[in-house]
Amino acid sequence: MPSLSTRLAQTELAATFAMTARARALRAEGHDVISLSLGEPDFPTPPHVIAAANAAALRGDTKYPPIGGTEALKAAVRRKYARDQKLDVPEQNILITNGGKQAIFNTIMSVIDPGDEVIIPAPAWAGYEQTVQFAGGIPVFIKCPQSDGFVLRPETLEAAITPRSKLLLLNYPSNPSGAACNVATLAAIAEVLRRHPQIWVLSDDIYEHLLFDGFTYATLAAVAPDLADRIVTMTGVSKSYAMTGWRIGFCAGPAALIKAMTIVQATATSGVSTIGQAAATAALDGPQGFLAERAATYQSRRDLVVSALTEIRGMSCHKPNGAFYVFPDISVFIGKTSQSGIRITNDESFAMTLLAEAHVATVQGAAFAMSPHIRISTATSSETLQKACTRIAEFCEGLK
């Protein structure tokens, strides 16, 4: 058999997919498995969005799409950026992508050469590291511990920058920690970036509408407009509008970079589903009131889970500002032994043993470049979360 590309040797599937697959396998064997491993809203796609997609299909809007996106969706995205991000973005500075993940891929492939360093505040979504490595770049993780609220500190960023630094990845609200970044901190980060003009920034704002306790959303390009020619602001409809399967993301950035990213997209996938783009247009231009209602539901679920986990002796759990995850510290359980005799050596063995014995699927913190933690998705019903927390508590209590 001929050899495969060497780039694949350092690229693996994300642990979230692996844990979800293990949970499905156990469920297929007849076990009552609660899966809290996947970051996918449990709400339905809004009916008016589905109706718009249906109407697009019926009128024959099923041909090859423009590579960069339809005029209708670009116009809707422009209005959305003005409304939510407080950014005035020309349509030629907008790119529609196959999910937010392709916006990230396009950005990294457009600016990173082999050996370039990409600064990634950790904990971080695993896809960042995978894509950087795929492009031949070097992921540089900088720790943002629970004691700092999992938020990047400007002095930590400054210390991580080298002559090879080419890109900074920001993700607030964050996957996996749920941390959010306020205006003052973003302004301080911008001040650091002004001293290093060689660094691009990708701001992944996919959880922008999922904020709690009155936390005010802000994005770097709006806080520091003088840096806008170095910033890609990415988001999409997957999380807020419960449209993960529709695969519609979008981003805004400087025209020259967006042009380069369009070339990457033309090479990789070409344009995005016309029917999906019609649905996303309806989502962005339609009623927005339900977003706050759903965020309130996620907040109540967060409160339930954080309260339950902090009652477990030794477990500490930061209270997230947004998204639909909690990221508890499980260090107190390292070195203990489970009821079936399995020794907990790290957060991966904790997560795997929790799944095997208590039938609750989570994801180890190592998958997000920060141990010893686990990520728990709260994108499921309160009843399911309560049941899962009870199982986790019983599992932890049984560790000796």
- Residue 97 clears pLDDT 70, i.e. is over it: yes
Cα distances (angstroms) measured from residue 340 to each of 32, 313, 351, 353, 357:
18, 21, 14, 9, 8
Tell me what pLDDT residue 8 has.
75
Q: What is the chain's mean pLDDT, rounded?
A: 96
Q: Any idea where the domains of the chain sit in the sequence? A: 6-44+290-397, 47-285
DSSP 289-341: HHHHHHHHHHHHHHHHHHHHHHTSTT-B----SBTTEE--B-GGGTT-B-TTS
Residue predicted with more confidence, 134 or 27: 134
**Helix intervals (H) in 81-148:** 99-111, 126-134
| C-beta of residue 382 within 8 angstroms of C-beta of residue 345 | no
The token duo for 50 is 């589905």
Q: Spell out a b/e string for 28-51, using b for 16 or more CB atoms within 10 Å of the CB, else e.
A: eeeeebbbbbbbbbebebbeebee
Residue-wise pLDDT tens digits, 297-355 = 999 999 999 999 999 999 999 999 999 999 999 999 999 999 999 999 999 999 999 99
| C-beta of residue 250 within 8 angstroms of C-beta of residue 222 | no
CATH superfamily of 6-44+290-397: Aspartate Aminotransferase, domain 1 (3.90.1150.10)
- Residue 24 clears pLDDT 90, i.e. is over it: no
- Residue 25 clears pLDDT 90, i.e. is over it: no
**Residue 6: HSE in the Cβ half-sphere, 13 Å Cα cutoff:** 1
Q: How far apart are the first and last CA of the chain?
A: 49
What does the alpha-carbon distance between residue 104 and residue 289 come to, in Å, rounded to a whole number? Answer: 28
Q: For the whole model, what pTM was predicted?
A: 0.95
- Residue 9 clears pLDDT 80, i.e. is over it: no
The topology (CATH level 3) of 47-285 is: Aspartate Aminotransferase; domain 2 (3.40.640)
Residue-wise pLDDT tens digits, 203-251 = 999 999 999 999 999 999 999 999 999 999 999 999 999 999 999 999 9
What is the band of 280 on the pLDDT scale with cuts at 50, 70, 90? Answer: very high
Tell me what pLDDT residue 3 has.
84
Side chain identity at residue 7, one-letter code = R
Fold match between domain 6-44+290-397 and domain 47-285: no
